[in-house]
């Protein structure tokens, strides 16, 4: 029997649990925002007045976006009216971007509030937008506990950024 290798080195941080370790007490999102990282390095694909969009560092599928407020807030009801309005309009636009760029057969949109609900970074509310395709959960997940992602995060970020700008420009031309 020949041993097959599937390189997925960027997941080492996740498997080792490093995503939750944080000496500052701030969320990883806040640390990214306060760092000197360029959007291309951090995989931020869009910035609004009250919220931003970043790729999930450990995506379920290519194009897995997170929409979140700049302000570190854990609960949906603690958002300001402006944050709430912008987040949900950004989620809607993010869905349109993913449909235009990736043509998924379905999309999951959701929030995990609190660690018990599955929120891995519970202190900073974020909305997941996950493009889905028939068969994207297959034997590798069920038997080998392995996900296969066919696209690097840098490539995904550039595709989403480009599609976002194109769709915004089209909407401006249409007067939307």
- For 8-36, write each residue's pLDDT tens digit: 554 454 444 444 445 778 999 999 999 99
Residue 1 lies in a domain: no
Residue 4 lies in a domain: no
Among all residues, which ones are annotated catalytic? Answer: 126
Length of the chain: 176
Q: Which two tokens stand for residue 141?
A: 């997940």
Residue 50 lies in a domain: yes
Q: Are 122 and 113 in contact (CB under 8 A)?
A: yes
Residue 140's contacts (CB-CB under 8 Å, 6 or more residues apart) are 146, 147, 148
Number of domains into which the chain is organized = 1
Backbone angles phi, psi at 66, to 5 degrees: -125, 130
Interhelix angle for 153-174 vs 81-102, to 10°? 110
Assign residue 36 the CATH number of its domain. Answer: 3.30.428.10
Q: What pLDDT score does 147 carry?
A: 52
Q: What pLDDT score does 22 carry?
A: 55
| pTM of this structure | 0.82
- For 151-172, write each residue's pLDDT tens digit: 889 999 999 999 999 999 998 8
Per-residue pLDDT band for 135 (boundaries 50, 70, 90) equals confident
Alpha helices in the chain (DSSP H): 12-15, 28-34, 39-42, 81-102, 139-144, 153-174
Tell me which residue range forms the domain holding 68: 9-174
Residue 104's contacts (CB-CB under 8 Å, 6 or more residues apart) are 61, 63, 98, 131, 132, 133
Q: Which two tokens stand for residue 119?
A: 């929120």
- Stretch 88-109: mean pLDDT: 97
Residue 3 lies in a domain: no
List Cα–Cα distances, 117 to 112, 124, 152, in angstroms: 5, 14, 28
Q: Are 93 and 109 in contact (CB under 8 A)?
A: no
Element (H, E) at 47: strand 44-47
Per-residue pLDDT band for 86 (boundaries 50, 70, 90) equals very high
């Amino acid at each position: 029997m020949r041993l097959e290798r599937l390189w997925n080195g960027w997941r080492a941080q996740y498997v080792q649990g490093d995503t939750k370790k944080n000496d500052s007490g701030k969320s990883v999102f806040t640390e990214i925002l306060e760092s000197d990282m360029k959007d291309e390095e951090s995989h931020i694909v869009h910035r609004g007045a009250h919220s931003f969009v970043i790729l999930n560092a450990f995506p379920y599928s290519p194009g897995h976006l997170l929409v979140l407020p700049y302000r570190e807030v854990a609960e949906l009801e603690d958002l300001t009216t402006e944050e709430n309005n912008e987040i949900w309009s950004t989620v809607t636009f993010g869905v349109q971007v993913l449909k235009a760029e990736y043509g998924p057969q379905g999309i999951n949109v959701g929030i995990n509030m609190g660690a018990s609900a599955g929120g891995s970074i519970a202190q900073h509310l974020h909305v997941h937008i996950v493009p889905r395709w028939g068969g994207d959960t297959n034997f590798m997940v069920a038997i080998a506990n392995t996900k296969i992602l066919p696209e690097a995060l840098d490539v995904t970020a550039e595709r989403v950024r480009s599609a976002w700008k194109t769709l915004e420009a089209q909407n401006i031309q249409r007067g939307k």
